[in-house]
């Protein structure tokens, strides 16, 4: 089946630094990638939608300059959390459309900003 590989699985960074999270589709071409944020015991909140070769579309309330999304190829999308602060600590998950299976998810990244 379609697999999305997400790295790193855990990252701890200092406040003010930037962190990059990568999602790669391993056996299919992901023209569209979705990025979610999830707090403990809560649902997934869509942050943005990225399409290969074009600018990402951000959901209302998501800071574009803080959460930079790049989808430069059909197999790689990245989320960079810039100037991270403790309130950015969360679980970030990517997802790609993978017909006919629907949607496939990365394993998630637990970001802790200290």
Partner 1 sequence: AQTVTQSQPEMSVQEAETVTLSCTYDTSESDYYLFWYKQPPSRQMILVIRQEAYKQQNATENRFSVNFQKAAKSFSLKISDSQLGDAAMYFCAYTGANSKLTFGKGITLSVRP
The least CB distance from residue 41 to partner 1, in Å, is 7
Q: Which is nearer to partner 1, 14 or 40 (CB)?
A: 40
Sites of contact with partner 1 (CB under 8 A): 32, 34, 38, 41-44, 46, 49, 91, 93, 95, 97, 101-105, 107-108
The least CB distance from residue 96 to partner 1, in Å, is 11
DSSP 3-state of 88? helix
Q: Which is nearer to partner 1, 18 or 107 (CB)?
A: 107
Q: CB-based contacts of 102: which residues, under 8 Å, 6+ apart?
A: none
Identify how many contiguous H helices and E strands the chain contains and give both numbers: 0, 11
């Amino acid at each position: 089946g379609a697999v999305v590989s997400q790295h790193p699985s855990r990252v701890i960074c200092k406040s003010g630094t930037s962190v990059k999270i990568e999602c790669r589709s391993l056996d299919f071409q992901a023209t569209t990638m979705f990025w979610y944020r999830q707090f403990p015991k809560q649902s997934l909140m869509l942050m943005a939608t990225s399409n290969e070769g074009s600018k990402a579309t951000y959901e209302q309330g998501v800071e574009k300059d803080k959460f930079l999304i790049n989808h430069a190829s059909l197999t790689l999308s990245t989320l960079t959390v810039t100037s991270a602060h403790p309130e950015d600590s969360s679980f970030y998950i990517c997802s790609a459309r993978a017909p006919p299976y629907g949607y496939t998810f990365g394993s998630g990244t637990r970001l802790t900003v200290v």
